[in-house]
Amino acid sequence: MSPPTIYPPRTITVCAAPLTPSDFGPFGTVIQVPGTASATVNQGTAQKHTCITPFTDTYPITAPRAAANVNLFLCKPRSLLPLDAVAADDVSSGIFKVKILERHPYTTQSFIPLGLPAPTRESPSPSKFLVIVAPTLSKPGGPPDLQGLRAFVAHGNQGVTYGAGTWHAPMVVLGEREVVFVVLVHENGVESDDCQEVIVGGKGVDVEVRQGMGSGEYGLWGGEAKAKL
């Protein structure tokens, strides 16, 4: 069955911000080295941080049993529309048009990048990925609240866990190279249990990605959501 289509009342434009645990908190967990205490292990050669992100499921007992799966996603870079003529050649800045959102109603889902370098002061903008999430409306079927949609830029020293039932866009890699993700998720093989989708129709939602916006670490991106009337 084809996914339903939702139509925003006007074009919504959201500016991508740096990914931080506090800002992403309503939607899930940022996976990164925490600033909390750790345990010294492996004969004093390693620091261990426990329980850094949830990996849970709430599949109904009447549904087929779900397995805890470890998958690999090989994600190619997405093309962005240019913000303006000056930025037309910058593959990491531009506009991403959100055309579909999905959610996993009974399971968390974690994305952990492999082999993606973290930013440094000398190289602040290696390949990165765009995390797009939305809250759920209190309406029949629980559609996404496009007015509350948020977008975050993540780097190689970060991963994300979407909370169960959190609406999000499929992974969006920015830059020039493919990124491999380890993906942790529970699945029972029933399509409507494992993943639900909606098409964003009409004028849709635009996510602006601007290099150098805001006051993020190493001059990364920031900004506030705004809507075009």
Tens of pLDDT along 178-190? Answer: 999 999 999 999 9
Q: Would strands 196-200 and 5-6 be described as parallel, antiparallel, or unpaired?
A: parallel
Going from the N-terminus, what domains does the chain have, and what CATH number goes with each? Answer: 5-26+65-227 (2.60.120.480)
State residue 59's pLDDT score: 98
Rounded Cα distance between 56 and 82, Å, is 39
Q: DSSP letter for 57, please.
A: B
pLDDT at 219 over 50: no
Per-residue pLDDT at 124: 58
Q: What is the pLDDT of residues 74-106, one digit of tens each?
A: 999 999 999 875 555 566 689 999 999 999 999
Is pLDDT of 123 > 80? no
Share of residues in the chain with pLDDT > 70 (%): 85
User: How far is the C-alpha of 111 from the C-alpha of 174, rounded, in Å?
Assistant: 15
Query: Where does residue 8 rank: exposed (0-12), middle (13-18), buried (19+ CB within 10 A)?
Result: middle
Which of 22-26, 87-91, 202-206, 219-223 reaches the highest mean pLDDT? 22-26
Residue 224's pLDDT is 39
Kind and range of the H or E element at 21? helix 21-24
Burial letters 128-159, b for 16+ CB under 10 A, else e: bbbbbbbbbbeeeeebbebbbbbbbbbbbebb
DSSP 115: S
Residue 61 above 70 pLDDT? yes
**pTM, two decimal places:** 0.88
Instruction: Give the integer Cα–Cα distance in Å for 198 and 3.
Output: 5
The mean-pLDDT minimum among 18-27, 31-40, 72-81, 83-92 falls in: 83-92
pLDDT in tens, 124-169: 556 799 999 999 999 888 999 999 999 999 998 999 999 999 999 9
Q: In this structure, are strands 128-134 and 94-98 parallel, antiparallel, or unpaired?
A: unpaired
Query: How many Cα atoms within 13 Å fall on the side-chain side of residue 99?
Result: 5
